[in-house]
Amino acid sequence: MFNDIIRPRRLRTSDNLRRLVRETRISPESLIWPIFVVEGENIYQEIESLPGQYHYSPDQLYRMVERAQEHGVSRVILFGLPKDKDECGSGAWAEDGIVQQGIRKIKELAPEMYVVTDVCMCEYTSHGHCGILCGRDVDNDKTLEVLAKTALSHARAGADMVAPSDMMDGRVAAIRSILDENGFQNIPIMAYSAKFASYFYGPFREAAGSAPSFGDRRSYQMDPHNGREAMRECELDVTEGADILMVKPALAYLDLVHEARQRFDLPIACYAVSGEYAMVKAAAKAGLIDEYGVMCESAVCMYRAGADILITYYACELADAIRKGDIG
C-alpha cells in the first residue's frame, strides 16, 4: 500500500528548494583548465580537434589569462609543444623550455593564477613515448631521472604544483625527493595515479603532437579492465608522497573515482579528457544533444562520484554555469 507520509517529491517542488537540498556541491575553485603552450610568436590558433581551445605562444597567453579572469577560473594545467624534439626529450627540462616560458609569462601577467604543470616526456621525445627508450621499450628507471629533472625545472620557473602523467613506477618518490633536496618542500604533487591506456585521448594527441611513432603505451598505462590494480597504483602514490590522486579518463571510470574517494583521504581529481569533450562538441554540432545540459550533467556526475577537483576543457563554461546556479 502507498505510504502517503513518505513523499520524496516534497523536496523537488521548486527550484529554490531543489538547490537547498542538493547533495553534490560544486565550486569554480575546484576547476582546472588545460592550456597548450607552443614555441614561437603571435600564435593564437584554435585546435581543430578541440573546438574552443587554442594553441598559445607565450606572447599570446594574455588572451588565456583574460578569458580565465572573465569567467572566474584561477587554475590552469600547462602542456608544452616544443619546436624541436630528440630521443631523450631534453626540451622538457630546459631552463628556457616552452612550459618554463609559459609559467613565467603567466606569473608575469597574473601572479595570483595557480599554475600546475604536466610532467611527462611524450611531447618532447622524437619517438612520442613517455620516457627513455631501451630498444623499443621504455626504460622505467632511466626515465625517473629525467622526470625528476623536469619537475624541478618547472618548480624553479615558478610552477605552483607538478603533475606527473607518465605512469612510470616510482616517479612520485623520485620527484618528491628532488624537490625536497632543492628547497621545494612546499610544491605539491598531483599524481596521475590511475591513468588508463584509453581510446579517449585521441584529440589530445593531435593537440599536443604527442602520438607515439610506433607501438602504443599499454606497457605503462593501465589496462581498462583493471579496477583493483588502479587502487594499488593510488596506494603506491600515497606511500611515495603524492598530495592529490587522479583518475583519468573521467566518465568511463567513475566507479574508480568513487572507490578512490572511499579508500583514500587525499583529494581526488579526475580529468575529463579530450575525447569526452570532443564527443560532446560533435554531438551538439550535429544537433543530437543539448551541449550546455550535457556539460553540466556530466560534471555533476564526476563530483557525485567523489571527485574534489575536475580538470576540464569546459572550465570557463562550467564556472559560468555554477554562478548561474545551473549546477553547484
Peptide bond into 82 cis (omega under 30): no
Please pick, among 85, 105, 149, 195, the residue that the annotation labels catalytic. 195
Task: Spell out the long-range contacts of 106-113 with Cβ–Cβ below 8 A and sequence spacing 24 or more.
Answer: 106/61, 106/64, 106/65, 106/76, 106/78, 107/158, 109/61, 109/62, 109/65, 110/65, 110/68, 110/69, 112/74, 113/65, 113/68, 113/74, 113/75, 113/76
In angstroms, the CA 82 to CA 100 distance is 11
142 is catalytic: no
85 is catalytic: no
In angstroms, the CA 113 to CA 78 distance is 12
Among 56, 60, 73, 74, which Cα is nearest to 113's? 74
Among 161, 75, 83, 71, which Cα is nearest to 117's? 161
Buried b (16+ CB within 10 A) or exposed e, 61-72: bbebbeebeebe
Per the structure block, which three cell numbers stand in for 20?
Answer: 537547498
Please pick, among 85, 105, 149, 248, the residue that the annotation labels catalytic. 248
Can you say whether the dihedral through the CA atoms of 269, 273, 276, 281 is positive or negative?
Answer: positive
Which residues lie below 8 Å from residue 280, measured CB to CB, with a gap of 6+? Answer: 289, 291, 294, 295, 298
Backbone angles phi, psi at 7, to 5 degrees: -130, 90
Active-site residue list: 195, 248
